[in-house]
Each structure stands twice: as structure tokens, then as C-alpha cells.
Structure 1
Amino acid sequence: MGDGGAGLRVRVVAGAYSAVLVAVLVGPLLGPGYLLLRDAVSTPRSYLTGSALGLGDSAPRAVPQDALLAAVSPLVDGGLIVKAILVLALWAAGYGAAVLVRELLRAPLAAQLVAVTVALWNPYVAERLLQGHWSLLAGYAALPWTALAAYRLRGSSHTFHTLRTGGACVKRVKPMWEWRVRGAAKANEGRGRSRRGATRRPYAETLGGWAALAGCFAAAGLTPTGALLAGITATVTVRRRHLPGTLALLVAASAPWLTATLLSGAGAEPSDPAGIPAFAARAEPGLGTLGSLAGLGGIWNADAVPDSRTTPLALLATLLLLAIVVSGISAVATAETGGRESLRIRRALLALAGAAVVLPALAATGWGMEVMEWLVVNVPGAGLLRDTQKYVALAVPAYALCAAAGCGALASRFRRTSTAATKSNETTATALAATAFIAFLVLPLFDLAWGVGGAMRTVHYPPGWRHVAERIDTPGDVAVLPAGMFRRFPYSGAAPVLDPAPRMLPNDVLQTGELPVRGRTVSGEGTRAREVETLLLQGGSAQDLARLGVEWVLVERTTPGPLGESKTTLAQLEPVYADDHLALYRVPGPDPTLATPDHRWLAVAAHLLWAVMLIGGPTLAVVAQRMSRIENRPPAVEH
């Protein structure tokens, strides 16, 4: 009971520390209001439009997250949902790192806290928060849990094989497994259990591992990139014979965006090769591209970085992070702690970390960009790879392991040099090393605190948005002015933000998908939205607008942007609503022949499959774990 109490205390402290760091990170978002920063758009209410299901003209990059918000926001405020998902994802990333090092390295509490800090207090998290990639951070959070699911699958498979063959476990995979292996030799003694009963627990372990993996894939699959991150992690960590099942689960978890890609046809169109240099990893001051990526930085958008990363502190922070990582590489790669399966997982994660740093750096070179441009032009769906810095997330589980192992390495060195090397002294040395590591990680990136220096804050929408949504009472598409997808509202701050109209309004809002990046424009996949935008800017007729299937035009009055000769077109439309912020017009007689085939039921079915995995995976994993614990109890001793 004492050991169990100590283990519970370690888990509680690690979880609480992760929660404290998250509160420091996103504190300004915990109050009322909505997240509206660059790509992050939360709204009070979303709608299950065709675009939310990924059936619009553009590639389905925001599924199933948009459908999730549309399904839940009628019951719970959409802004609260986004903030809850972001906070939960960050906490899971930190606590998952602690559990990972505890399981694979048997790391003590102090080392687990270092792993939490590595996972949460780093440039990758800062940059993705500033870029507004809240849903991508759900995929980031799933990575340590995916590695743990693979580890448990490996362990349960090893134990089951041992029981089937009647052999003994040579390596100590997990302490609680020892009793079951020893008990297998006495399966028919004592309580008269059969061989079938003796092998019941490994089945529960295997079931729990698969269920946990399914839940990880679904959570990461909130965005297509997140699904790829978790899928890559699982592919390199599971056993080869588990690969077919792993890929099947990954495809099922990715069903929303895969189905939308097939139904809409947007994914079959080549991406603009101009997106490759635009989204290539960026070199930070004094680091170069490779150094920036090794330090978990280097996002393409120079405006979406903490101020400290634009100073010599970026070099100092990177050197300290890499020194901490290097201090534990040897232990992670060679230590027998946790058994053979733990060692294999750790080595796989180390190799993955190297690839996650080197490959994006190569993709940012001249010939690397040429290869990437060929891919996005000739391979459908390769546009998902253009923001290569996203994949640096794959290095974080290994970084967390190395940082935790580095604490142990320093403590062992103290034990070898100390004349009074007691367990108390070793614990103190580990705590001191952990404290130093945490300080080295936090202090050079001090402005990550409180919403990355206050850049992340909540906003409040004017009531006109709600009034416009209420006035749209027919199913036609909506065109929006000014042209472009990004806005600068008086209430949204200095950074550009994605237009909230597609999530605010109950109908599909046409968007070109064109992105202004580094002084150039990256084209989107669709064509109809571009035709509509061009028509409005050229002052085309209302009849031409109706011919393109547009029934509503929304003018957002308080944001800069090109309007062209749109006044000529608007004069031909019926005014429906107007205030200081917004104006809504109705287009007479939209062309009904432009209605697309109704594939919504297929898209909805794919989203339901994903939802079942998201909810059922973790639930089944918990049930299987409890079954294992019950079956693992030693038999009562009869007197």
C-alpha cells in the first residue's frame, strides 16, 4: 500500500505541475471571450455546413474540428469548447511526457517534471499558439500517449507469447507482469484455473493497447496533420506484425478528411508550388535552419514567434536545450531499464527525432524545395507536407526522454564522486539537477508566459454577427467583402486573423483559399470562389453573381481590404441588414443548377466513425486496464 500511495503522489504532483504550467501559458484565455488570432477562430455558434464537413471547394484542412464545433456549439458556447480543448491538449502533452519517462525509464518525480517542462515550455508550442494552431496541438499532445500505447501493445504481445510457449520472461517488462508469468506454470493448481484462464489477462492487455491507440489517433486526428504525426509515431514504434492493424486504425481515424477529399475532389487538385518556399522552415538569429529546428523553432511566419526568439536569447535557449538533451542520449539509447521493448521504443523515438529535425532542414534547401515542389504538383494530398516545421513535433517525445535521463546521469555522477553516496543524497542530486534543467528551459523563453507575452487574449464580437446569421434564411452560398481570407478588425488586435464568417454564418461562405505568405500569394485549390471574388471586384452584374450560385453578399465594414468596383454590384442587390460593422445583401435568383450532389450522409458517417473512436477508444482502454488489474490480483491464500 505504501508503494501504491507513493506512486499516486508522483502522478498527482506530475499532473498538477503540468496544470500549473498550462495555466501560466494560456492564463489570459481563461476569462470570458473568444480566441481570434491568425488561424485560430472560435465563435459562439458554428453550423454544420458543407464546408464544415470538408465538402467545399478548398482542401479539407479543418476537418473534423469544424464539424465537432458545429455539433457541440448549439449546446455549449463554441469559444468555451475551443479553450477547453486547447487547455486539455496542453495538459495532456505535459502529463503524457511525464508518464512516458516514468514507463520507459522508471524516472523519478524530479525527472518527470523536467519532461513536462520540455514538452510544454518550448518554441514549438509558443509558435503554434501564436499562429493559432490550437487543434494541431491536440495532435502534438497525442504523441507521447501514442508511444505508450505502442509500448503496451509490445509488452502484452511479449507476455502472451511467453504464456503460450510456457517459457519465462527474461526481461523485466513491467513489475505487475511477473506474477502472471510465474502463475502460468501453476495454472491448474490452487484455485484450479485453466490454461485458458491464465491467458485471459494478456488478451485484456492487447485489447487495451489497441483501444488506447485508436483513441490517440482520433484525438490527434482533429486535423489531418495531427493524424499524420500520430500515425508516423505509431508506425516506427509498434511491432511489424501490428502494422496492418495500426494503419487500419489510422485510416479509420482519418476518415473525415479522407472521405471529404474523395467527395469534394479538392485533394485531387495539385497544390500551388509557391507554397513550398513560402512555408519552408525559417532560420532564427545565429542558428541557421538546422539549429532553429533542433531547438524546436523555425516556423515560417516570423511574426508568430516570441520576442525572445528574435534576440541572442534564441541561441542561448537552443544551446541549453540541446545540452540537456545530449546529457541523456546515451542512457536513453543503451539503458536496460524497462526491458527490451522499452529500449526498442526509445531507440525508435531517438531515430524519429533525428529525422524530424534533419528532413525539414533539407526541405528548406534549394534542391529540397525542388523535390517538395514536384511532390505537391504530382502527388495528390502532398500539400499537407508543405509546412515542414510542423513535423518537428515528432522530436519532442525523445527530447523529453533524454532530458529526464540527463537528470539521472548527473545524479549517478554525483553518487560516484560523493564519499557518502546514500539514497537521500542521490535523490537530492536528482532534484538539484532537475531544478537547474527547468530553469535553463524556462528562463531564456520567459515571454512564453501569460499567453506568449500577452499576445494571446480573448476578443468579443459585435452583436451584428448574430443579427446577420439570423437574417440568412435561405440555403444559398455567401460571398464576402473585402476580398481575401484575412481580416484586421478593431476588436481583434494588430495580427491578421482568418475571417470568422465561415464559422459565424449558417450557410457555406465562399473562400478562395489564397494565403499571403512572405510577400507572395499561395493559391488555393478551388476556382468558383475566385470567380465570384473577381466578379465582385470588377463590379459585375447581379445576374452573373446569381449564375455562380451566390445568394448572399456580406460586407465587413471595419477591416481593410480590396473592394474594387463592388459598389456597382451591391447597388443591384437587396439590402437586408446594416450596422457600423456589417452589411448583408440578398442576390435575386441564384442558379439552382449549381447545387452539388448530396454526399453529406457519407461525410457525416465518416465523422461519426471518428467520434466513436474518440470516445470509445479511451473508454475501452480504461475498462481493459481495470480488467487487467483484477486478473492480476494474486490468489487468496487458503489456511
Structure 2
Amino acid sequence: MRGAPAVLGLALGALALGPALEPGFVLRYDMVFVPDPPLAPPGGGFPRAVPSDQVVALLARVLPADVVQKLLLLAVFALAASGAAALVPDRRVSPRLAAAACYAWSAYLGQRLLLGQWALLLGYAGLPWVVLAAVRGGPLRLAAAMVPAAVGGFQAMLVTLLTVLPVTALSFRRRGAAEAARRTAVAAGVWGVLSLPWAVPALGADAVTDPAGVDAFAARADGPLGTLGSLLTLGGVWNAEAAVPGQDGWWSAGTRAVLAVVAVAGYAAARRGVPYRAGLAAAAGAGVVIAMAGVAVPGVLKALIAAWTGFGPLRDGQAYVAPLALLQAVGLGCAVAALSGDAGTGRPVDRIGRAAVGAVGAVVPLLVLPGLALGAFGRLEAVAYPAEWRRVQTLVNGDPARGALLVLPWSAHRAFPWNGGRVVLDPATKMFDRRVVWNDALRVAGPDGVIEVEGEDRAARVIGALVSGRAPREVVADAAVRARLAEHGVEFVLLEGVGENTFPSGQGGVDVVFRGRELVLLRL
């Protein structure tokens, strides 16, 4: 039965993804997978998709890219469930299944999935294995446990760092301060080496971070329990569209609060076989503090970001609640073990009662968040790219000219009819083996109006000053603008959503390479 938690995780993944497992690509917010992805270098902004995009591109050399996406998403659930189960000190199946279900079916996982942050979820899924390796294994085992987060990139690794340092330091404190410091330094070193794929381009990137993002990405109340209550029940993501259906009601919020209390109590009562107990609790507490910073002390966080752009990842503070999710999962497993009786004393409850407790523990997380099932009631669904997208990809990637491609209209997100109107980051940012210039700024509707967060790519800011607020046809028709774009290395212009026959077949300084119902590809 050792594989039971992983099997449960796969089953939960299939239930959660539902229609997303059909042939095609799941496109929602940051989750942008494309056919035949190129091994393209990172753009001019912060390397948020490094090395995740490159790993996907390599895997897509072996399997179709849509199959790669589904396998990665299912892996998140299986890895998360089996890892949480492995941390439960009780060896019986029922407490471990309860922990597995709690960790692989949480508001945190659901919200980040609906926000499309699959790369962060790789780090979330690997987090329990990192904790286990930190207290039981050496550097090689710890490095292996960090691989999912390393693939996920910077945010997944930052969440991992938040967890592994206090877990290592506090788990070995009984062996003396010197040993604890040595172990912590080794853990930090392993983390640093595995962070090089994104840290090196980040240090070399000419990126800037807008402090206004603190207000845009601050945790928010996604139910009747307020912001802190939402965070403690593993919700509170900044984007209201990422809420799991039904989670804002009193039933879901209230039962999740009760489940959180039971789980934390079970964790606090655990003593034997939990060497990571203090460290994981410290990481969970620190995560909640970071998550609340954008709400409680936004001015301090803005000042830090203004002083050094490296503090930018702290804007999305709710991401750092992941250690609390793991603590609650292990705590629920411990609570189920306590209610099932102590197997070591010969005084367990009868077999039927023990099985019933275990079944309830594994099912309750699903009952308090039923809206995650079936692709969050259709919010996740697989679709096919129109043929003209593939045609444009082939034309651009097969062209020997190495100039950049500019995407218009000048906005980051799209809602294509063929994708069911779901909002997604423009797929053109991932499809081409050259520099793609796009508007990486963000507009977020807040309680006091729309918050505009400037993009991180300095070159995109310069080009944005030329094209922002102008219709695509105007931009290309202006000879002076075309000349400036050429100066910045722009070779192609991709117009999206312009409609068939709405652009002339050619004009001075512009060649129409492709014209479709939705896309027009121009060469300057």
C-alpha cells in the first residue's frame, strides 16, 4: 500500500482536471503551452519562465506538447499527495491518505492552478520531499528533492528556500549550533546551485519592478473570513478570477476553517517522529507574515522594492502560504492517526471504526472544496490552436532573419473565441525562436480603481511609448514609427484579432507575409 497516496493523487488530479485531459492545450492566464515550443532564450524582463519553458521545449521533442502539459499537471497532484503522506509519522494508510488528500486538494493548489501557475505548483508539489530530504538525507538527496522546484523556476525556488532553511536549522539544533549551521549552509548551497538557471539571467537582465505591484498583487479576502482568514484557510490569491467556484460561500469557508483548526491542533499535538516540527511551523508562520505584508505594511514593501528590484517577488505574498498548506496536511494526518488509536499500544479502535475515520479524513478535503472538480466546473478545458497560428509559427521560425517580433495590439492578455473566451497570456510570447516584444505591463482592477503596474522589460517600455494607445494599423502605417521599431531590432509585426481583409496587401516599408482570419504577419 506504499503507492496508495500517489494513486490517490493521480485520481484527484484526474478529477480536478477533468476536461483539461482531453486532446489539446489548456490555456488560462499564465498557463501557456504551445505546439512545438522553441528552445528560445529568456526575453528582456525578469526570467519568470526559466527554466520551465526550456524544460517543456525539451520534453516536447519526445512527446507532443499537449501531452507534456497534461503529464506535468498530473505529476503535481501525484507528487504532492505522495510527499505529504510520506511526512506523516504514523505508518498506517488512513492517516497518510488524509494528508495526501488535504495537500493535493486545497484552495492554494486550486487557485494557483486557475491562475495558470503550474511552475509554482511544481515547487509546491516537491516541498514535502524537500522537507523529508532536509532532515533525513544528504546533499544529493536534497538536490534530487529540489528538482521539481528548480524546473519551476524563481518563485517555486523562493518558496522552497523559505521552507528548507528553518526546517534544516531547527531540526539539527539538538546536535549543536555548529552542526545546525553547517547543515543549513549545505542546504543553502544546494539551493543556490539549482537556482543558477534563473538567477544568472535575472542578475544580467535589465529588468525593473514597479512598486505599484504591491497593491495589485496583495492578498485579498476571497470569502467571509477576511484576508487573514482567507490566508489561514489557504486562499487569498490576488486575482478574483482565480477563486475556486463556491469557495467564497459560508459553507466552504467555514468548513475549511474548521478543517484548518483540526489540522493545526493535530500538528501541534504530534511529538514522536516529527523532527521537522519546529522548522515547518516557523516556515508556515513566516509565509503568513510575508503574505500579509502587502496588506498590513504596503509602504514598507514598496520602499524595499524601490530600493532593490530583487524584492519584487515578495509582491505576490500569498504564494508563500505553501508551507502552511503542508503543515495543515501533515496535521490532518496526525489528527486522523490520533482518532484512529495508537497502533503501538494495542489499544486501537475496532477495525471498522478505524477505517471509517480514515475514509472521512481522506474525503473531507474534497467535500469542503467541491468546486475544484471537473476543471473547476469548466474553467479548465483543452482546446486546439487554429491552423493559422501554426502557419505563422512555421513562417517566423523558418525565417533566417534574426530580428525581433513585435506583437500588437499592445496588451499582454487575450480572450480568444476559440479558447472559450478564457483570459490567457498571449501565446505569441512562447511560440517563436526569437526575441518577442510584448506589453508585459498589467492592469488590475482593485477596490479603489484600476491599478496599472509597469512592465519589467525596459526595451518593451521604450517600444510601448511608440505604439501604446494607437491602433495596430496606425502603428504600421506611420513611417517614423516603423523606422524607430527597426532601430530597436524589430523585423516582424504580428497583428492579432484584426480580422480578415482589414489590412492592405502592402504599403511602403511593409510586406504582408501572412494574412488569416485572426492573424496578420508583417515584415518591416
What TM-score does the superposition give when structure 1 sets the normalisation length? 0.73
Q: Cα deviation per residue 1:465-521 (whole Å; 9 max; x = unaligned)?
A: 121122220211001111111011111123311000121122211023101222222
CA contact (8 A) 1:514 1:523 kept: yes
| 1:225 paired to 2:155 | yes
Counterpart AA for 2:230: S
- 1:569 Cα deviation (Å)? 11
- 1:110 Cα deviation (Å)? 0.6
Quote the Cα distance in structure 2 between the aligned partners of 1:20 and 1:62: 28
CA contact (8 A) 1:63 1:256 kept: yes
Cα separation, partners in 2 of 1:358 and 1:263, compared to 1, 3 Å = closer
Greater Rg by CA: 1
- 1:49 Cα deviation (Å)? 2.3
Cα separation, partners in 2 of 1:566 and 1:298, compared to 1, 3 Å = farther
Counterpart AA for 2:521: L
- 1:399 Cα deviation (Å)? 1.0
> Which residue among 14, 18, 39 is the counterpart of 2:30?
39
Cα separation, partners in 2 of 1:566 and 1:231, compared to 1, 3 Å = farther
| 1:61 paired to 2:48 | yes
Quote the Cα distance in structure 2 between the aligned partners of 1:24 and 1:50: 35
| 1:574 paired to 2:503 | no
| 1:89 paired to 2:76 | yes
| 1:378 matched residue in structure 2 | 307
Quote the Cα distance in structure 2 between the aligned partners of 1:233 and 1:583: 47
| 1:443 paired to 2:367 | yes
| 1:216 matched residue in structure 2 | 145
Secondary structure in structure 2 of the residue aligned to 1:310:
coil
Quote the Cα distance in structure 2 between the aligned partners of 1:490 and 1:558: 14
What aligned pairs does 1:517-536 form with structure 2 within 5 A after superposition? Answer: 517-518=444-445, 519-536=450-467
Counterpart AA for 2:376: V
> RMSD across aligned C-alpha pairs, in angstroms?
2.3
What aligned pairs does 1:580-619 form with structure 2 within 5 A after superposition? Answer: 580-587=517-524
- 1:121 Cα deviation (Å)? 1.2
Quote the Cα distance in structure 2 between the aligned partners of 1:439 and 1:246: 36
Counterpart AA for 1:584: L
Cα separation, partners in 2 of 1:475 and 1:279, compared to 1, 3 Å = same
Quote the Cα distance in structure 1 between the aligned partners of 2:358 and 2:295: 35
| 1:311 paired to 2:249 | yes
- 1:371 Cα deviation (Å)? 1.0
| 2:389 matched residue in structure 1 | 465
Secondary structure in structure 2 of the residue aligned to 1:516:
strand
CA contact (8 A) 1:552 1:586 kept: yes
> Which residue among 85, 99, 105 is the counterpart of 2:86?
99
Identify which range, 354-363 or 374-383, moves more after superposition.
354-363
CA contact (8 A) 2:40 2:432 kept: no
Cα separation, partners in 2 of 1:412 and 1:330, compared to 1, 3 Å = farther
Cα separation, partners in 2 of 1:359 and 1:586, compared to 1, 3 Å = closer
Quote the Cα distance in structure 2 between the aligned partners of 1:72 and 1:439: 34
> Which residue among 497, 500, 508 is the counterpart of 2:427?
500
Quote the Cα distance in structure 1 between the aligned partners of 2:352 and 2:326: 26
Cα separation, partners in 2 of 1:247 and 1:358, compared to 1, 3 Å = closer
CA contact (8 A) 1:320 1:440 kept: no
| 1:557 paired to 2:497 | yes
Quote the Cα distance in structure 1 between the aligned partners of 2:63 and 2:4: 31
Counterpart AA for 1:440: V
Counterpart AA for 1:555: L
CA contact (8 A) 1:469 1:506 kept: no
Counterpart AA for 1:108: R
Secondary structure in structure 2 of the residue aligned to 1:433:
helix
Quote the Cα distance in structure 2 between the aligned partners of 1:233 and 1:145: 11
> Which residue among 6, 24, 31 is the counterpart of 1:15?
6
What aligned pairs does 1:137-536 form with structure 2 within 5 A after superposition? Answer: 137-153=121-137, 209-221=138-150, 222-238=152-168, 239-266=180-207, 269=208, 271-332=209-270, 335=271, 337-338=272-273, 342-343=274-275, 345-365=276-296, 368-412=297-341, 423=347, 425-472=349-396, 473=399, 474-518=401-445, 519-536=450-467
> Which residue among 472, 483, 505 is the counterpart of 1:543?
483
Taking only the aligned residue pairs, the percentage that are identical comes to 33
- 1:412 Cα deviation (Å)? 3.8
Secondary structure in structure 1 of the residue aligned to 2:452:
strand
Quote the Cα distance in structure 1 between the aligned partners of 2:338 and 2:8: 23
Cα separation, partners in 2 of 1:380 and 1:520, compared to 1, 3 Å = closer
Secondary structure in structure 2 of the residue aligned to 1:135:
helix
Counterpart AA for 1:42: F
Cα separation, partners in 2 of 1:436 and 1:558, compared to 1, 3 Å = farther
Quote the Cα distance in structure 2 between the aligned partners of 1:116 and 1:569: 59
CA contact (8 A) 1:350 1:398 kept: yes
| 1:120 paired to 2:78 | no
CA contact (8 A) 1:410 1:429 kept: no
Identify which range, 11-20 or 289-298, moves more after superposition.
11-20
Quote the Cα distance in structure 1 between the aligned partners of 2:91 and 2:322: 22
Secondary structure in structure 2 of the residue aligned to 1:479:
strand
CA contact (8 A) 2:126 2:148 kept: yes
> Which residue among 52, 62, 66 is the counterpart of 1:79?
66
Q: Cα deviation per residue 1:541-562 (whole Å; 9 max; x = unaligned)?
A: 2222211211100011269xxx
Counterpart AA for 1:552: F
Quote the Cα distance in structure 2 between the aligned partners of 1:431 and 1:397: 24
Quote the Cα distance in structure 1 between the aligned partners of 2:62 and 2:283: 41
CA contact (8 A) 1:58 1:525 kept: yes
Secondary structure in structure 1 of the residue aligned to 2:484:
helix
Cα separation, partners in 2 of 1:490 and 1:44, compared to 1, 3 Å = same
Counterpart AA for 1:294: L
Quote the Cα distance in structure 2 between the aligned partners of 1:70 and 1:97: 29
Q: Cα deviation per residue 1:143-162 (whole Å; 9 max; x = unaligned)?
A: 10001001213xxxxxxxxx
CA contact (8 A) 1:317 1:441 kept: no
Quote the Cα distance in structure 2 between the aligned partners of 1:321 and 1:307: 19
- 1:358 Cα deviation (Å)? 3.7
CA contact (8 A) 1:216 1:230 kept: no
CA contact (8 A) 1:147 1:237 kept: yes
Counterpart AA for 2:391: H
Secondary structure in structure 1 of the residue aligned to 2:241:
coil
Identify which range, 241-250 or 425-434, moves more after superposition.
425-434
- 1:346 Cα deviation (Å)? 1.4
Secondary structure in structure 1 of the residue aligned to 2:493:
strand
Gaps of 5+ in 2: 169-179
Secondary structure in structure 2 of the residue aligned to 1:555:
strand
Cα separation, partners in 2 of 1:456 and 1:352, compared to 1, 3 Å = same
Q: Cα deviation per residue 1:344-398 (whole Å; 9 max; x = unaligned)?
A: x112112222332244124312xx1111101111123111111000010111221
Q: Cα deviation per residue 1:1-36 (whole Å; 9 max; x = unaligned)?
A: xxxxxxxx2x12222222211111112222210121
Counterpart AA for 1:229: V
Quote the Cα distance in structure 2 between the aligned partners of 1:567 and 1:558: 12
Secondary structure in structure 2 of the residue aligned to 1:575:
strand
Cα separation, partners in 2 of 1:384 and 1:429, compared to 1, 3 Å = same
Counterpart AA for 2:489: G
Identify which range, 388-397 or 531-540, moves more after superposition.
531-540
